[in-house]
Amino acid sequence: MRDDLICSGKESNILEIYDLNSTIDSYYDMSAPLQFTLTCLSGLSEEDYCNIVSVSPDKDYFFSSHISPGFHAFNARAPHRHSFFELMIVLEGTIAQQIEDRECLYPAGACCLINQNVFHVERYVGEAKILFIGMSVGFIRDLLHTHQTSFFKREEDCQDFIFQFMGDNIQLGKGKNYLDFFPAFQDEKCLSSLYDFTDRLIHAMMFPKFGSTYTIKGLICELFQYLDTEERYQINSIKLDFSSDQLLFSRIGHLMEETDGRMSRSALEKALSYSGNYLNAVVNKYAGMNLREYGLTFTLKKAALLLEDTDQPVSAVESQLGFSNRTHFYKVFKKKYGLTPGEYRSEKKKTAHET
């Protein structure tokens, strides 16, 4: 990869780029089994910088430069697709990912795994640190084979959603889909874990020794398992008839579910990197209510579950879910379920006793 990569984009250490200057699209072909590229951007002004570390089994590349007109031309380039799977991991900041005809914002902790057929382009919108992992079809086949011929039955029985996604894509060949990973709201260790995977993978590639191939394969599998854990990540399998607004609505719903509907508008803005007005419009579009009303549906659902499954006093349920006004709690609960909280609990206990 030469020093003019960002300015001209003609070639990299292991990438052959076709139709680079096309205003329609381009194509990236990777000659190595995999490549890790860590991009660090301090901003988009002339005083800011862009640092790139790109490592593969064949060559390593280091690039550092202040932001130039060439970078802005690179940032405005046409979409591309490639011969390999690409996992994007956002470590800091926010990045806009244009996928086919839609654009989504990915904040720190979010990830995206794209197959070979999807046209996309990353748009840098400010300070960011991103790890891109390119994995060839041959490398994935090798991992799948290893997974199926492992030493331990527990490994063979493991149902990994990411492996399944890539295996299906390799077998079918023509599908256009991708996986979207959004971190659990309460997972405070998410970023430190992603940084740890990044450091270990790049170190293993930069300083190879006997057994490093197995180390890297093991780390990739470990990373996949980490992302495929329900308590840590929400995974959406996106087909290209799935709009960006639908995806955002899904993200909002999962965050509301995690927080029992008690996630504020400002917290949603921070977590999703969208304005509150836009989030409100998306919820109204798909749920026919505003953010506050939509959050309340999750709060009342949790209240009903607590009344049904626990012996907590109604006052404790009310307090746990953040209601400061008992009259308001009773009013909204009865509007939703047609019964007061006490009547709801009695009715559920009666039904359970009868069955």
The contacts of residue 181 (CB under 8 Å, 6+ apart) are 110, 111, 112, 113, 227, 233, 234, 235
Q: What is the 3-state secondary structure (H, E, C) of 94-110?
A: EEEEEECCEEEEEECCC
What pLDDT score does 353 carry?
A: 73
Write the CATH number for 314. Answer: 1.10.10.60
Asked whether residue 270 falls in the same domain as residue 319, the answer is yes
Which own/partner contact pairs does 188-192 have at CB distance under 8 Å and 24+ positions apart?
190/109, 190/232, 191/91, 191/108, 191/109
Mark whether 187 and 130 lie in a shared domain: yes
Distance between first and last Cα of the chain = 70
Q: Residues 218, 299: one domain?
A: no
Q: Quick check: is 75 in a domain?
A: yes
Kind and range of the H or E run holding 167: helix 161-172
Q: Flag whether 248 is in a domain.
A: no
Angle subtended by helix axes 137-148 and 212-227, to nearest 10: 80
Give the Cα separation of 42 and 249 in Å (integer): 30
Structural domain including 310 reads: 253-354
Same domain for 227 and 267?
no
Ranges of residues in the chain whose predicted pLDDT is under 70: 1-13, 155-159, 186-188, 241-243, 355
Establish if 247 belongs to a structural domain. Answer: no
Regarding whether 305 and 162 lie in a shared domain, the answer is no
Q: How far is CA 248 from CA 75, 124, 145, 274, 282, in A?
A: 24, 19, 35, 9, 8
CATH of the domain at 205: 2.60.120.280
Residue 353 and residue 148: Cα distance in Å, rounded? 48
How many distinct structural domains can be found in the chain?
2
90/180 same-domain check: yes
Are 47 and 71 contained in the same domain?
A: yes
Domain finish residue from 218, 242, 266: 242
Residue 11 lies in a domain: yes
pLDDT 10s digits, 115-155: 998 989 999 999 999 999 999 999 999 998 887 777 777 76
The whole-number pLDDT of residue 244 equals 75
Helix H or strand E encompassing 327: helix 326-337
The reported pLDDT for the residue numbered 242 is 61
How confident is the model at residue 2, as a pLDDT? 31
pLDDT at 187: 63
Residue of 4, 10, 15, 53 lying closest to 134 (CA atoms): 15
